[in-house]
Structure 1
Amino acid sequence: MKNIKLTFLLLSLFWSLQGYAQYQKPTLTDKDSWSLVLLPDPQTYSRYHRNGGILNLMTSWIYENVEALNMQFVLCTGDLVEQNDFMNPQGNTGNMNSQQQWSFVRSAFSKFDNHVPYVLATGNHDYGYKSAEYRSTNYDKYFSVEQNSMNFRALREIGPALNGASSSVNALYEFKTPQNKNILVMVLEFGPRDTVVNWAKDVLNNKKYVDKDVILLTHVFLNKNSNHIKTQKYKMEDVNYGEALFEKLVKPSKNIRLVFSGHIGDPDVFDGHLGFRQDKNMSGKTVTQMTFNAQAMGGGWHGNGGDGWLRYLEFLPDGNTVKVKTFSPLFAISPATQSMAYKTEANQEFTFTLN
């Protein structure tokens, strides 16, 4: 009996060591590549005190790996908080009120200030009372381009005012890659208004920008079947979801090459958080559209917020090849769980081309 137990312990140790030996820290496959990090909806990290440490772990990991991954900027798909303006959360609504949630998420991202640029989309939960009952957000009370000098230097355009105030929920940024190519990042509000869509079209058709590749960041775009989302059941009026945004802005554009979004999910089913498709625009160029979220992983809608999953995209020096990796700093932090730190399914780790 002792021999059986000893054999079992040795086998357990062996497989544990195998997992540990196989783990490799995220790195670039080409030393001349550059990367961006895509953070999914953080709302469930923000609404429970117990989950906040996971988002701080994620942002700390990003902070520590800016140089190693030649990281040019960080993008977040929106729903920064669970409730925009709700002072008495109870039960599944969370145990942090809206002011606490906004303060927390601001603190989590503040470590990027003057270290790496970051662009945050706004989601439906960032508006109204609980979720997009009307178009008002507390985003501007907690985030502004002046907080991060690197954002401020990159800012090129601010979109139409929101509730009478200038707001970076609609904005255009410009970044220079290590290959000396300028990339534009345009962020648009949740369900952009027609005024915002028209502003975006005019800006991207400006001769200053028309020949530069654009990454579009918005909250709602693709569903889990990788179809453009047509409609949502929110009270907010004057909205353009995925299908309308594609037809009015993305397809006619000559220079939008990438679209990133979040929003969707399915309790503990990762495929229900993902979407991916490529379409030709009216100029014949390929537009790659990626939805990435994780908020209902790790225990469903009211679980730990998403198991720490994020994505980093490596842009190779050929200017055409992009490698996608799905990674969790939460699992990576301990040798006991490092074997689970990457998702390697075909829709989680893959390569695509921009043309």
Structure 2
Amino acid sequence: MKKKINNLMIGILLTLSLSCKEEKSFRIVLLPDTQVYSESYPEIFQAQTEWIVNNKDSIAFVLQQGDITNHNVPEQWKVAAEALQHMDNIVPYALATGNHDNGEKGHAGTRDLSYFNQYFPFDRYSTMPYFGGAMEAGKLDNYWCKFSGGGMDWLVLNLEFGPRNSVLKWADTVIQAHPQHKIIINTHAYMYSDETRMSPDRSHHWLPQSYGLGKDSVDLVNNGEEMWEKLVKKHANICIVVSGHVLNDGVGTLVSEGDHGNNVYQMLANFQGGVEGSINGGNGFLRILTIDPKQKTISVKTYSPHIDEYKTTEEHQFILTNASF
């Protein structure tokens, strides 16, 4: 009888433990377009990652969203590496690359990420416990990571600026191999500032096809709408797509239904120089996503550790309700 009671108690405790794990909310931090910090304001970049380190216990993952540097030169990569690698072995993070990280002086005339892979070497990041795999051995041009949050397994796909068809096919195989994971896509150019995905049909600027690397007529480059059609909408477990790149007011949010009836939460956030109202290349503003599976919400806040201030207007601080994961 005593043994049965003990077994029953163990079962109850395990159930309660799993239940608590499932209900716990978690945070993801987004670092969009850090390019001007790498060029002119290293102290702001350091303030961002220092704040993340100081709040490590409440942050499950960090995503840098491309345009790590402004002109793709060693001096700027050194600043970026010092700031971002401050989080090494403390908070898991992943990087997407942008147009300013490609080619000579960051003009994206060619798809060349040599400096990126020099300052963020595959041999270093492939040993991290959250590293999953890469499309090409020895390169982080396109790679995936994994983490746990809210009692769920998550997979982050970090895709190049204007992902080529071959990259989308690779991403498709990774997603198919992980049907039980919730998928986040981290890429530089996807959403536009008019709450739609990037597309020439809506006369959008800064499309990947307008850069030199976008002229590849063999392995076609894809904008946001093409990524949606070819990859994102096809998978039931894709939950979130985040991007930067676009100027104007630098923000955009869209919830779309995929082919399987799943909601996909798509967000643009960009605070760099050139965005309306930007100061000091963005003044250190970053995005904080709090995901609460129990309440079915994604709470979005925009905060600057550099000036200790929140943006509180509705486009910068909002809650997505009835979020399905």
For the criterion TM > 0.5, the same-fold answer is: yes
- 1:136-182: CA deviation from partner (whole Å, max 9, x where unpaired): 11211011355358x721222211x3xxx6312211211112x4310
Aligned counterparts, 1:341-352, within 5 A: 341-352=309-320
Q: Which ranges in structure 1 are unaligned for 5 or more consecutive residues?
A: 1-30, 85-97, 267-271, 333-340
State the partner residue of 1:121. Answer: 96
* Aligned-partner Cα distance in 1 for 2:296–2:173: 27
Q: Are 1:77 and 2:65 an aligned pair?
A: yes
Q: In structure 2, what is the equivalent of residue 260 of structure 1?
A: 242
SS at match of 2:212: coil
The residue aligned with 1:274 is 251
Alpha-carbon distance in 2 for matches of 1:215, 1:144:
23
User: Using the alignment, how far apart are the partners of 2:236 and 2:138 within structure 1?
Assistant: 27
Aligned counterparts of 1:82 and 1:300: Cα–Cα separation in 2: 19
Select the residue among 44, 48, 54 that pairs with 2:44: 54
Post-superposition shift, 1:310? 0.6
1:330 to 292, 303, 306: 306
Q: Are 1:33 and 2:22 an aligned pair?
A: no
Structure with the higher strand share, 1 or 2: 2
Describe the superposition over 1:91-127 as per-residue Cα deviations: whole angstroms up to 9, x where unpaired: xxxxxxx110011100111110010111111000110
**CA separation of 1:204 and 1:323: change in aligned 2, threshold 3 A:** same
Q: Deviation at 1:33?
A: 2.1
Provide the C-alpha distance between the structure 2 equivalents of 1:61 and 1:297, rounded to a whole number of angstroms: 25
Q: 1:64 aligns with which of 35, 54, 59?
A: 54
Measured in 1, the distance between the counterparts of 2:162 and 2:95 equals 15
Structure 2 equivalent of residue 186 of structure 1 = 157
Partner of 1:244: 226
Matching residue of 2:265? 288
Equivalent-residue separation in structure 2 for 1:75 and 1:229 (angstroms): 20
Once the two structures are superposed, the pairs formed by residues 217-232 of structure 1 within 5 Å of their partners are 217-231=186-200, 232=207
TM-score with structure 2 setting the length: 0.83
Residue identity in the other structure for 2:25 = S
Query: Once the two structures are superposed, what CA deviation does each residue of 1:233-263 show, in whole Å capped at 9, x if it has no partner?
Result: 2111231111111110101122111000000
**Identity %, equivalent residues:** 36
The answer to whether the 8 A contact 2:123-2:138 is kept is no
Point out where structure 2 has 5 or more consecutive residues left out of the alignment.
1-22, 201-206
Structure 1 stretches of 4+ with a deviation exceeding 4 A read 297-301
CA distance in 2, matches of 1:101, 1:256: 33
Read off the aligned partner of 2:185 and give its amino acid letter. L
- TM-score of the superposition, structure 1-length normalised? 0.76
Aligned CA RMSD, in angstroms, stands at: 2.0
Size of the aligned set, in residue pairs, is 286
Give me the whole-angstrom Cα distance separating, in 1, the residues matched to 2:235 and 2:293: 25
